[in-house]
Amino acid sequence: MSLWEYKVISSGKGGFASPALLEKFLNDLGREEWEIVHFQSQADNLLAFNGLARRSTQRDWSLQDAAAAAAKAEADKLRAEFAAKFQAATSTTAAEEKPASFIEEKAAPNDDFRKPVDTSRDSDPDSGEDEAEKDDWDKLNEENELPTFFDALKPHMRRNQRGPGMSVGVDYLAKKWDLSEEDVKGALVECGLQIAADENAKPVYVEYDGDLFWVNINRRGELWINTREKPRPVFRVVQGTRVADDAIPETGNRTAENENRRSETTTDRSERTETATEPKAVDQSGNRNPKSEIAASGALPSGPALLERVRPQMRRNRRGPGGSGSTSFLSRALKCSEADLVAAFKTLGLVVPEKAEDKPVFIEVGPDLWWLNLDSRGGLWINGREKEPGETIEAPAATATKEPEASAAQPAAPVPGAVLSAVRLLLKETKTGAVAGKADRLAEELAKSPDDFVAALVSAGLKVPEKAREKPVFVEHAGEIFWLNKNAKDELWLNAKASKYAEKSEGAAEGEKKPARRGRKKPDGES
């Protein structure tokens, strides 16, 4: 009857990388006389499997096996007897021989010291090498000349593809050294390395000659030896002493110098932007600075001083020579409302155009020309440039004389028109193409109470709606229509957009003939 030993075989979680590796694994099992009794592969991966194998530990008795075992035992017995007789004859002959020299005669035959070497024939070129049998000391020296296990690994290692350092497989070393994998594993254990139990085991490092070595196992069950250079320390950790706030000195030349540099940098930045809250009225040389006095007073200057104040905040004009700046930006830079800034411009004689297509009215201040214009979104801009040699402009007074005639031809209250003109610059564009603004915000920017602001709008002809969906009352001014409305939150808003009736009236006044629309049927009674 045969006795069996069993072994669980598995390819690991991920299976083998290729069918060739699976074939090699099965061939190795057959070479070791293992018999697979159960084999189950995964449905999604045919290279991954689990199974059970067995092999016999005691063969069944047969006449051939018994005869072979008896012949082997008889051969071993004769071999042992022959070796004993040969050893006895060799020892007797060596005892009867006389020593070859005086040195060998004096040396003790059974002492523990190495036999001295005869150097009397070293200078003789015809003398051959000593072919005597090597003793234990010579064999020990030969073993010491062998490389260490770690040094023997390095020529076979290759760069590690999954991390720093280099690595080599145990099966590859066994083939190169003509050893079994068990012998290589035994050498690993003797050198202090620990073989990992599975692929998730934490590696155990061993240091040798400044390098770290460790062993890991991959998901296919293959052992790999890895090495990398031991990290060198870059710094040493020390404990610092905490200093209390009272112990920090507040005075000193270096501190004072840093404070002076910081204050100078802040002063230069404030002079460049001219938006400092408290500018200096006297500079370092003791001279008075008129720009700083104007900023410190908090009021807008009048006359040419206003243009000198505005000039540093203007940027280069993109559509011609000179510079330009929007009133919305300049009002924030000068810390005033946009309406006050526009009013100050009007005191200089600058004319606010009603539409973006209006021809600008130039005024001459010193060697420069200044004018106002509207962009396509209704924003007001101030522009300035140097006057060209021989250039003449129309006098502002001639333009101003035409205003009473226009007022007489179109009688309208000056106060309502002024309110709508002032508030028009504060309205913001909406998604529908119109402009609008919340009444509370507009009143705050105009420095008025909400009630006074709403009363001024009502005096201009607008009507405050009682509910959100009430039909508004439109008022036309400067080619646009204005109206008030309430939203769902009961907030009052002022709205404005271009008037279509104004465009029709202008076309009729100029004698333009608009083509009739095609495909539109006139209703009954329309001429």
401, 420, 450 — which closes off a domain?
401
Residue with tokens 């060209």: 388
Same domain for 420 and 477?
yes
pLDDT of residue 95: 56
pLDDT of residue 125: 66
Assess contact for 174 and 181: CB atoms under 8 A: yes
* CA neighbor of 13 nearest in space, from 266, 198, 238: 198
Rounded distance between C-alpha atoms, residue 426 and residue 438, angstroms:
10
* CA neighbor of 181 nearest in space, from 213, 221, 145: 221
Same domain for 373 and 473?
no
Mean of pLDDT over the chain = 75
Which backbone phi and psi does 79 adopt, to 5 degrees? Answer: -65, -40
pLDDT of residue 311: 87
pLDDT of residue 266: 53
- Domain span at residue 449 reads 412-513
pLDDT of residue 140: 52
Burial class (CB within 10 angstroms; exposed 0-12, middle 13-18, buried 19+) of 496: buried
Rounded distance between C-alpha atoms, residue 15 and residue 465, angstroms:
80
Same domain for 178 and 211?
yes
Assess contact for 365 and 307: CB atoms under 8 A: yes
Rounded distance between C-alpha atoms, residue 331 and residue 306, angstroms:
12
List Cβ neighbours of 300 (8 Å cut-off, separation of 6 or more). Answer: 306, 309, 334, 336, 340, 341, 344
Rounded distance between C-alpha atoms, residue 289 and residue 490, angstroms:
50
Same domain for 444 and 378?
no
Same domain for 397 and 300?
yes
341, 366, 401 — which closes off a domain?
401
Rounded distance between C-alpha atoms, residue 439 and residue 495, angstroms:
10
Same domain for 204 and 302?
no
pLDDT of residue 432: 84
Low-confidence ranges of the chain (pLDDT < 50): 101-108, 131, 252-253, 270-286, 288, 290-297, 396-415, 505-506, 508-527
Rounded distance between C-alpha atoms, residue 494 and residue 499, angstroms:
16
Please count the structural domains in the chain. Answer: 4
Same domain for 392 and 432?
no
On whether residue 476 sits in a domain, the answer given is: yes
pLDDT of residue 85: 84
